Amino acid sequence: MPLTPQDSFQQDLAAIQLQGNADAERVPELVEQILQSAQQHNATDIHLIPRESSLEMNWRINGVLHFVSHFPQVLKANIVSRLKVLADLLTYHTDVPQEGRIQNREDGFEVRVSTFPSLFGEKAVIRLFVGSGDYRTLSSLDYPGQVLDPLIQNLFETSGVILLTGSSGSGKTTTAYACLRAIAEDSPIRRAISTLEDPIEAVISAASQSQIRPSSGFDYGVALKSLLRQDPEVILVGEIRDQETAQLVFQAALTGHLVVTTFHAGSAAEAVSRLLDMGIEPYQLTSGLLCVLNQQLARKLCQCSQTCSEEQDQLGLDVEQVRVPIGCEECDGTGYAGRFPILEMMSVNRANIRQAILGHRDANEIEAAAIESGMTSRWQMATSAVNSGKTSPAEVRRILGFRE
């Protein structure tokens, strides 16, 4: 039987040799083991959830939560307190949310800690980032040429907005950093690059990076207005969160700046439709928006997957063949190993897309115009991935849903 993350962590935990339920002295060692074990299993998030008589731990691996362990009641507050100490948070504030970072870890990983009050105590969520030197380049992101080529071309424009969209955890920040690296390393002349982020997740040596602090009044709107007086040429805005930020992003683009930014949306067309609904004028979009890249991360089937001919396993997808996950030691029994992007790239310079935007059409009509102009939709790319045996219909439905 393959080892699950739960089984594997219990083996790691055995090395600490906790003596009963009251061994609070070993909590620092326990917390370090939690972080190391999660990293070894390529977890991106650790969820520590207080229950009535225990602390439940789940890991997010390849976008999916896995139950890993329960810790006894007597250790519940101690584990969260230790994380707060490491992240320079106030241990005596348990009734308000707090955020911090664990700095200067020897393993190179950067760790963000977020605490939140709940019914049975403080919940803690730990986000594990790769080290600043390990962020990926565009060429390593497994993008097909039909997406990568126009993206690179737009990165060397002098003005306009490159909008990176997708759900939480879909790799938007990784793509944004890869874009900045490409601009810094491949531009024929030196360009002034500035970023506004919340939080700063990696250091880009060629950029001037700034941390947004809304609690101090330094939000995206205030920061972007001031940053435009700093003579930037390329600006990364970590996320469009409100109408003011959206307006300022497009004003910056129309005044001669290249802006790379992220936005939560389920598709490229939905992102454009939402910006219209937020009050961005259609002419601002057609004049300032260079392209919209939408991405979701799907799990790759492990080599243990098997072909299945049952129609119900197609889950309503128009596919010719299906492989389904089985589970083995290589994939910790999940049936999946690694992830790959499902993408769609919409360039706004096509006449019928511009007409749909200027006519304030809804997302379905904008998407239809984009497909007519040659865009490969996320559903087409997902179907192709199923037909090639790269992923399963269940995984496609998990990340894209059932509403096509």
* CA 163 distance to own-chain centroid: 14
CA atoms within 13 A on the CB side of 226: 11
Instruction: Provide the CATH number for the domain formed by 5-129 in this structure.
Output: 3.30.450.90
Q: What is the pLDDT of residues 220-259, one digit of tens each?
A: 999 999 999 999 999 999 999 999 999 999 999 999 999 9
Domain boundaries, the chain: 5-129, 132-264, 294-404
Q: Could you write out the DSSP letters of every residue in 320-385? A: S-EEE----GGGTTSSEEEEEEEEEEEETTSHHHHHHHHTT--HHHHHHHHHHTTPPPHHHHHHHH
Rounded Cα–Cα distance for residues 297 and 11 (Å): 30
SS3 state at 62: coil
Model pLDDT, residue 20: 47
Q: Provide the pLDDT confidence category of residue 188 given band limits of 50, 70 and 90.
A: confident
More confident of the two residues 11 and 169? 169
Mean pLDDT, residues 211-218:
88
Cβ(255)–Cβ(278) below 8 Å:
no
Spell 184-202 as b/e; 16+ CB within 10 A means b: beeeeeebebbbbbbebbb
Q: Judge whether 132-264 and 294-404 match in fold.
A: yes
Mean pLDDT lowest among 6-10, 131-135, 210-214: 131-135
**What is the token pair recorded at 262?**
């992220």
Q: Which residues pair with 297 in a beta bridge?
A: 341
Mean pLDDT, residues 303-330:
87
Mean pLDDT, residues 255-277:
96
Q: Provide the pLDDT confidence category of residue 74 given band limits of 50, 70 and 90.
A: confident
Distances (CA, A) of 308 to 12, 45, 327, 335: 36, 33, 15, 14
For residue 166, pLDDT over 90 is answered with yes
For residue 131, pLDDT over 50 is answered with yes
Nearest to 267 by CA among 400, 113, 146, 90: 400
Model pLDDT, residue 207: 94
Model pLDDT, residue 80: 95
Instruction: Provide the CATH number for the domain formed by 294-404 in this structure.
Output: 3.40.50.300
Q: At the top level of CATH, which class does the domain 132-264 belong to?
A: alpha beta
Residue with tokens 């690296």: 181
Rounded Cα–Cα distance for residues 331 and 177 (Å): 29
Q: What is the pLDDT of residues 355-384, one digit of tens each?
A: 999 999 999 999 999 999 999 999 999 999
